[in-house]
């Protein structure tokens, strides 16, 4: 198995370590296999972009080199950023952020589509 670099002290050390791991053939093969198998961004279900993220669900740096399928999620870039952004709130115990997100999105949809739906209905009715 690959060497584990221990005692990462700073963020810079940690990101250098992560880059080294991601430069390895084993990592690249793992990433490509997940892409072939999963095909789409696991949040948006859109096709994976060339620079998709192979996201570690296990955030423990000591486990960074453990290439276990179930501990990874393939995501396009914005989806990946969104997951990390929202996870900060979940980590702080704010699980209802997901309910609020859903409420906001549904409300936006209603505001922006209600009028269009009415118009479509009127057009359909006038045609009969």
Candidates 20, 35, 38, 55; binder of Zn ion (CB under 5 A) is 55
Is residue 18 a contact residue for Zn ion (CB under 5 A)? Answer: no
> φ and ψ at 56, to 5 degrees?
-80, 115
Least distance to Zn ion, CB of residue 83, Å:
7
Helix (H, G, I), strand (E, B) or coil at 52: coil
Tell the smallest beta-carbon distance from residue 79 to Zn ion (Å): 10
Nearer to Zn ion, 31 or 55 (CB): 55
Structure tokens that stand for 68 in this block: 């276990």
Within 82-121, the residues that bind Zn ion by CB under 5 A are: none
């Amino acid at each position: 198995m690959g060497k584990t670099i221990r005692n990462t002290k700073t963020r810079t050390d940690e990101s250098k370590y992560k880059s080294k791991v991601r430069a390895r053939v084993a990592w690249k093969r793992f990433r490509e296999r997940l892409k072939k198998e999963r095909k789409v961004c696991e949040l948006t279900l859109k096709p994976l972009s060339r620079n998709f993220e192979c996201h570690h669900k296990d955030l423990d740096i000591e486990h960074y080199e453990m290439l276990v399928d179930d501990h990874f999620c393939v995501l396009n870039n914005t989806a990946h950023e969104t997951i990390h952004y929202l996870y900060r709130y979940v980590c702080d115990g704010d699980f209802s952020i997901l309910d609020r997100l859903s409420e906001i999105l549904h409300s936006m949809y209603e505001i922006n589509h209600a009028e269009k739906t009415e118009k479509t209905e009127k057009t359909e009715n006038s045609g009969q």
